[in-house]
Amino acid sequence: MGNKVLEIFIQGPCGRLDTKYYKSPKKTAPIALILHPHPQYGGTMNNKVVVETFKNFVSNDFSVCRINFRGVGRSDGEFDNGQGELADAAAALDWIEKENFDNSQCWISGFSFGSLIAMQLLMRRPEINRFICISPQPNVYDYSFLSPCPTSGLMIYGKKDELVSFDHIDILNKRLSNQKGIKVDFQGVEDANHFFSNKEKNLSNVINNYIKKESIIF
């Protein structure tokens, strides 16, 4: 990892967004944006799963950033029930695209609440090529807006997720697997809970393998 991870502020819809950013030295490097869990339940960009996801993108020569949503850490503003957080994510994607205008691919990733915002952003931004959603909560949030899902991606869940039953994951899997022209992989991590406690390495392997497999396509 030759380049440093920078701690910066980028301009968001309601002020500054606290951001960590790594710029790949590789010309035309792909880009990725990573979104953290629910701000009202302790979610920040320094969450272990978010950081591990960030590291995987870095090791695969992506330029990548992760942000604190409004009202989290040093970001301005206050929690806005998802709408403002979606606007924050869109602003962050605008920024990283401008910083890497010659990027070869555009990926989005989110963990728990962040996966909902990631998928909502995916529906609005046709330039996104792939997604990685970790611990989606279809029992809490309505994912029916993925009709159809515009691109292929990966959904990762813990097989012992205490917050989301497998039945809800299976329903989402069946809905997305019936869509033509895309492939959404669902991968469960053995003995992992919603937060992948003590299973971060297993999660990291799944993420890394998918990035390597899919980024070579473009």
The reply to whether CATH 3.40.50.1820 applies to domain 6-130+193-215 is: yes
Q: Are 55 and 22 in contact (CB under 8 A)?
A: no
Asked whether the CA dihedral 10, 49, 161, 170 is positive or negative, the reply is: positive
177-209 per-position pLDDT tens digit: 888 899 999 999 999 999 999 999 999 999 999
With 0.85 as the threshold, say if the pTM is over it: yes
48-93 per-position pLDDT tens digit: 999 999 999 999 999 999 999 999 999 999 999 999 999 999 999 9
> Strands, DSSP E only, in 68-143?
106-111, 130-134
What pLDDT, on a 0 to 100 scale, did the predictor assign at position 68?
98
Domain spans, the chain: 6-130+193-215
How far CA 150 is from CA of 29, 145, 153, 178, 182, in Å, comes to: 22, 11, 10, 13, 7
- Residue recorded with tokens 């991968």: 187
